[in-house]
A and B are shown apart, each in its own frame.
Chain A
Amino acid sequence: MELVDLINALPGAVAQGLFWGIMAIGVYITYKVLDVADLTVDGTMCTGGAVCAVMMIAGHNVWVSMACAVAAGALAGLFTGIFHVTLGIPAILAGILSQLGLYSINLKIIGKANEALPSHVYDVLVAIKYNKNVPITENTIFIVAIFTIVIIALLYWFFGTSLGCSIRATGSNQNMSRAQGINTKFNTVLGLMISNGLVALSSALYTQYQGFTDINMGRGAIVIGLAAVIIGGVVFERIFKNFALRLLSVSLGAVIYYIVLQIVIWMGFDTDLLKLLSAIVVALFLAFPYIKKEYLPVLFSIKKRIAIRKNNKAALSAKGGAK
């Protein structure tokens, strides 16, 4: 429990947070903008890395490999979209179906359960060893931060266009959107494709960083994504109003999540229980608005409630006595 151990682990935690921050921005687009809970991401969080690793091992350039990873993710989003809007399957189920199907597809892409992508053999953009002691331009945190900023800038521009605005309208009010001539089905599919494309990009970068792709990489990704969205929202909602800053808060939410995780590990928490911890934390955050609305007033009026109950009891027994 040396403090220096924690400090040494922090750059890694920040980097990991930034990678997952890109994924969480993808989740934000479906969960917050489109108002759809898309579980496809558990599958695409592996697909992107699998495609990227396999292509790089086959000798392709890292940029081409990442572009194909994004395309593969968008394709997964397309299928979820088709399941949902053209075949009428509820969004959550459509995502689960894609996620399950992707497990087989991911296995076929990798060819086995995992595959190494060692950073000393392949020309990767980011790697654990680039966290420290390298020029700033090769530093992992710097590179992922640049990726994040470019993505936020692009999304900020896109959601300000006529098409982007119509996607926001689709998420806000489908009825009104159709009445204003907006193709809500197309927009939902497009939103799912953009979201899953981003998740796949995050996956491709993260695979390079950790030096391998693994079939289980995306398990529970949606929970981490939601955690980042919610933490970012809670911490920054009062100061970040603008859409670009909201996206930034999601990325920072992921960084906070991983720093807290690192602290918990440093304190000696059983790492087997980490996913359980994540699930509980996310459940609490998701429940918070409801708890605030339903149970907090009870707490504040508890004295009055007890007094009323006492009086009522007394009144009832007085009546009973009178009979």
Chain B
Amino acid sequence: MLEVVGISKTFNKGTVNEKKALDKLSLKLEEGDFVTVIGGNGAGKSTMLNAISGVFSVDEGDILIDGLNVTYMSEFRRAKYLGRVFQDPMMGTAADMGIDENLALAARRGKLRGLGRGISAKERESYRELVSTLDLGLENRITSKVGLLSGGQRQAITLLMATLKQPKLLLLDEHTAALDPKTAAKVLETTNSIVNGNKLTTLMITHNMKDAIVTGNRLIMMNNGNIILDIKGEDKKKLTVDDLLQKFAVASGEEFTNDRALLS
């Protein structure tokens, strides 16, 4: 479903701040894979997701989504195949627009946006039903501006937006990191039910090692812009946090440094 072949990305090339964020990284995802991604500070997790989404172009390598080479496709065109949820709850929704209008924008992803109605009454009703599945009471305020919602509610709406039109690939960039533990658990639960219900191919970055172990069918660990550990199936089920820390030390020759991961 996703094929990343030897991509590299260096930021601030030729300056003192030069940083090789991705170093000939390769990754292949099968259809229906639900992969969790962990790694230390600056390991290149978000950079990898942003490279796949087309936020910037890569210096070398190729990115294929469902056999289609999207390496040089602009971010908004690539969006047709991708569902994305960001770490910052403010980032995934238009604050000045209603919940219904945000969902309507997402429903038109990949379609030509012409002079047809931006949202119909029938659509609004279907969104009301959809939102009620979140169990957050938002169905009664479907036309409320998203800016009035809490971070957790906004992430839940973003998750619906990312998956409203079935994406070929769902990219979750620490989407529960900015939420309080209870809300984070709720959003993760919703994520699981949406991903499993629709059998979505998913890449999820998380700082929570426990979540990374119990969620999905495959786990990868990144360090210095590359994948240093890739565990699937039965092996993944048997993992513990200590195993992961130890494996990290062996594979990288360093201590695991991720402030949030170690504090959580």
Contacts and interface: CB of A to CB of B under 8 A. Distances in A.
Greatest chain A CB density within 10 A among B77, B94, B110, B116 is at B94
A149 interface: no
Contacts of A165: 97, 101, 104-105, 113, 118-119
B174 to A, nearest CB: 15
Given A159-B118, A180-B105, A183-B76, 12 more contacts: A160-B117, A160-B118, A161-B116, A163-B115, A166-B105, A168-B97, A169-B94, A169-B97, A172-B94, A176-B92, A176-B93, A181-B77
A239 to B, nearest CB: 18
B178 to A, nearest CB: 15
B91 A166 contact: no
Contacts of A184: 76
A161 B117 contact: yes
B79 interface: yes
Contacts of A244: none
A181 B94 contact: no
Interface string B74-85: 011101101010
A172 B113 contact: no
B55 to A, nearest CB: 8
Contacts of B162: 179
A179 B84 contact: yes
A182 interface: yes
A176 B113 CA distance: 16
A177 interface: yes
A159 to B, nearest CB: 8
A108 interface: no
A174 to B, nearest CB: 10
Contact of A168 (B79, B96, B106, B117): B96
Contacts of B79: 178-182
A162 B114 contact: yes
A178 B75 CA distance: 6
B53 interface: yes
A162 B105 CA distance: 8
Contact of B113 (A160, A166, A173, A178): A166
A161 B108 CA distance: 12
A161 B118 contact: yes
Given A162-B115, A162-B116, A172-B97, A182 B76 contact: yes
A175 interface: yes
Residues of B contacting A: mostly: loop
A164 interface: yes
A181 B93 contact: no
Interface in B4-28: none
Interface string A137-169: 000000000000000000000111111111011
B43 interface: no
Contacts of B80: 181
Interface in A172-212: 172-173, 175-184
B115 A161 contact: yes
A180 B115 contact: no
A173 B105 contact: no
A223 B118 CA distance: 32
Given A162-B116, A175-B91, A180 B106 contact: yes
Contacts of B86: 175, 179
Interface in B166-224: none
B52 interface: no
Given A176-B92, A179-B79, A162 B109 contact: no
B130 interface: no
6 cross-chain pairs, A with B, having the tightest CB-CB distances, nearest first: A165-B118, A181-B79, A172-B94, A162-B113, A181-B109, A172-B96
Nearest to A32: B96
Nearest to A186: B76
A178 B77 CA distance: 8
A182 B77 CA distance: 8
B91 A181 contact: no
B156 interface: no
Contact of B108 (A162, A175, A178): A162
A182 B118 CA distance: 13
Contacts of B228: none
B114 A173 contact: no
B70 interface: no
A170 B111 CA distance: 16
B95 interface: yes
Contacts of A172: 94-97
B85 to A, nearest CB: 9
Contacts of A181: 76-77, 79-80, 108-110
Nearest to A161: B115
A173 B117 contact: no
Nearest to A182: B76
Nearest to B83: A179
